[in-house]
Structure 1
């Protein structure tokens, strides 16, 4: 098993009780409130409907919001995507309904501003870091979920075992991706140029998508629970 896989599982077991770190928002998108519907759907101007989890902001408070109230879809690694009320500074998790995940928006903007292949590679490294953080955050939320009832010890063991198998699958896929794109590189090109070549960039995008899809898949468990 790779070191990354071991760190992920260690984080699962050890970080369940840790509190979110303080930090600035990595992404903020201004949106306007329209209305809300049960169960836990907040509708925004423009037709976007967000499935949220009422926690720091209660349903009765949202009921008092006026149409057109300014809100933010915000994101930082510690919280994931949230709906932020700028008047109070409080926020609630967004479970689904986003047209584009904030990490995708961050990566798209950085890639658009990147000039050289090495700049683009640095952007992809940052995207990989953010999706790794998101996967760990969502995984902790899945294991800690107590709606209905808490997991039994055996159920939690099975869940962790399934995630361990996914890590093995991911690591094998990463090797296959690098083998595939590696054979396209010219042997005469220097190591540094190979790392910054377009095949290398495509490979890193594929690697990122492995973690991205798993993070979204685990997040959907919370959305449909």
Structure 2
């Protein structure tokens, strides 16, 4: 026997679903971040969970710019990496296990940024081919080991692909061509730059906060706000 749902009840269900779908993300709690107020950051080489061996240092080469633009002093990443290796820590997993107090003693930075790359490189899925980079990060106060902030970001070449025309054959040809281009060129490095900007640009929704070296807004900018 088919039971009929009252129109009013159905309307309420649809409305609740619409509200849930449009709900804004829960605001990040920046209390610890603001109390810590870090001025300098040491970035550890990212842990690579993807199959591509280039992922860690490709992303590492991009992170200084958005952090510096956000107003932080970033220790030179190549020098940090070499310092770890001179002290017997040869890979990112070992580096991430170093105690925060020891990192503070060696580098003198207020905070450390720990990054993990979970996706990097090209993938072929019959009718689509994309290069994608996904990373998550956490900022730790090296003076007390407290978590200040955590976030994640993803970037993909599929964001700009238009597969609306050409039918199935066209999609297959386009995907095959894109896969060849993605394989022959290091598009992952380019996409990693976009992902790092999304991950570490200051004052984005639930993103990292501006540091003390960030340029102060002009009176015109304040008036526009």
Normalised by the length of structure 1, the TM-score is 0.30
Query: Which protein is richer in helix relative to its size?
Result: 1
- Structure scoring higher RCO (CA < 8 A, sep ≥ 6) equals 2
Give 1 or 2 for the bigger CA radius of gyration: 2
The alignment's TM-score, normalised by the length of structure 2, stands at 0.30
